[in-house]
Chain A
Amino acid sequence: MSLKYGVLGLLKGEPLHGYEVKSRFEAMLGGTWDVNIGQIYTTLQRLERDGLVRPVGGRGDRGKQSYELSPKGQQALDQWLAEPDVGPQQLHEDIYVKLLLATRIANGDLKGMLARQKRAYLQRLRDLNRLEEGARRDGRIDLARLVRGALLHTEADLKWMDELSSERFGTEGAKTQ
């Protein structure tokens, strides 16, 4: 997801100035995405340049400029919301590369690596469970859903570790060198 559509989505409700966009965006994400105010201003300027938002009212307090969604911005937002996420799956974590390297390197402590990674995933599951519980307690059902998604992903990671642990590893990976 890019910040662009997050900003458009927030402006759909009501006109906001840069700082309001930042604080509402961060509140919506429940602290899972920090943005700096500079990114927000840059994004707003680009959106204005592309005709997706437009300034509304004069410059208020301390020169703050509010923006509203334009019809074109509304259309772009609707289209983005309606599109499924396609494209390559994002695998950001180092474990994917570590695994490939460990199977190539002789005496690589693969079992140990998998066991340590499994523990890290267990701890993450515990942390996510607590986060989900907290979100529900705060009445943030939307955020609890996001955390639930992360929980299920981590569960899959854990299953992957178990599957790998029960596998016999040779040097099969190295053949493609």
Chain B
Amino acid sequence: MQEMLANPAVQGGLAPFVAALVVAALLTPFRLGGLAVVAAFATAVYFIAGFTFSPLTATRKIILLGFAAPLAGIVIDFALRPTRFEAGMLALAGAAAAAWIFWPVLAQMDLERGLLLGGTAVLATAWTIGFSHSRLAEDGVRAGAAGLALGAGTGAAAILGASLTYGLYGFAVAAGSGAFLLVQMIIGRKTHAGATFMLAATVVTMLLAAATMILAQLPWYAVLALAFVPVAASLPLRAGAPIWLQAVLLSFLGLVVAGIACALAWQAGG
């Protein structure tokens, strides 16, 4: 049993998926099925690094924000009306989070490299959070597909960029999003994603991608490519298509963009 739980495929895939499926199945009736993604992420963190937050490294800051994002999402979903202003404010908060996490490392780099990597991290995080919140959060299938592709893309790109830990965290988000999508495919209707789901999925994945770029070896343009995954998940589909088909098609479109990011990462290491 201990050996099985030490297997990276279990830590970053199977265990997060099971945890997310349970959460999505139990909490969907209460419009909280989006917590599936943080359940998956927390499961991976438990197995891989544990809940230690001192010293507060960049990775631990990402974990903290990954836990805080769905809590903020619940407040937003239940207390506020979705507006463009709200999406803009969330994008700004994402940019500030990226700056808070990476500033200590960027400050040690030469100016040109620091500006390039820091600018990419801030812009990609802000754009992904803002766009996803304004265009995908109200549609459970589109949100789930974006989370699945962002998680899988970040996971694979992180492994290519020399960090298996970030890779497993990314795959955990993909597993959580997959569980969230699966519940919708089984019941045959869209469920509520909202900021509870979308904020957690985008904050964790984009900050992990930025961390792989700044602390490991992911090229900056691969991070920018990942930021276009939500655009793919927002493309129009034939009206009236069954939920399972929408989920498959939108996930496929997102994964194509994620695949481009991974190809860029692979090429950069060659």
A binds B: no
**Chain B contacts to A: CB under 8 angstroms:** none
